[in-house]
Amino acid sequence: MRMFKWMLVFGVSGIMLGCAKPIEQPVASRELVENVIEKDKNLIPESYWVVLDTGQTYEQLQVSIYQITLLDLYQSASGKLCRRFEAQEINTQDSPEIRVACKQQTDNAWYLSSPAVSDLTYDLNLGS
C-alpha cells in the first residue's frame, strides 16, 4: 500500500510538471500580408476613390484598357478598409485578375495592395 502511495505521488507530480511547461509559440517564416505600400507606384488616382468607397458590388467601370468589376468591400485584419476587384483587359480572352485596393486611414487615399497570398497555388492530391 505504501509503495502505491509513493508511485501515485510521483506520477501526479510528473504529470503536473509536464503541464507547467510553457507552450512553444510558432514562428512565421513567410509574411502572409504585404504591409509595405510604395505610395507613388501604387496610388490609385483620386477620381476613383469615391467609387471604391461607395460603389456597389459588381458595379463595372472602364479604366484605360481595363474593364473593372467591383467586388466585396471589407475590413482587413490590419484595420484598413479594402475592396477586391476584377481587372480584365478589354478585347482579350485572358482571365480576369483579382486585385485588392486598401484605403489609408491617414490620408483617405486608396492604394493597390501587393498580391501575396492570392498568388500561391497548391497542387492538392486527395488520393485515387
Q: Which of 75, 78, 85, 81 is nearest to 118 (CA)?
A: 85
Q: Does 38 have pLDDT greater than 70?
A: no
For 42-84, the pLDDT digits (tens) are: 888 899 999 999 999 999 998 888 899 999 999 988 888 999 9
State the first-to-last Cα distance of the chain, in angstroms, to the nearest integer. Answer: 57
**pLDDT for the residue numbered 14:** 66
Chain mean pLDDT for the chain: 77
For 91-106, the pLDDT digits (tens) are: 888 888 888 999 988 8
**pLDDT for the residue numbered 59:** 92
* Pair 32, 113: CB distance under 8 Å: no
CA distance 104 to 121: 29
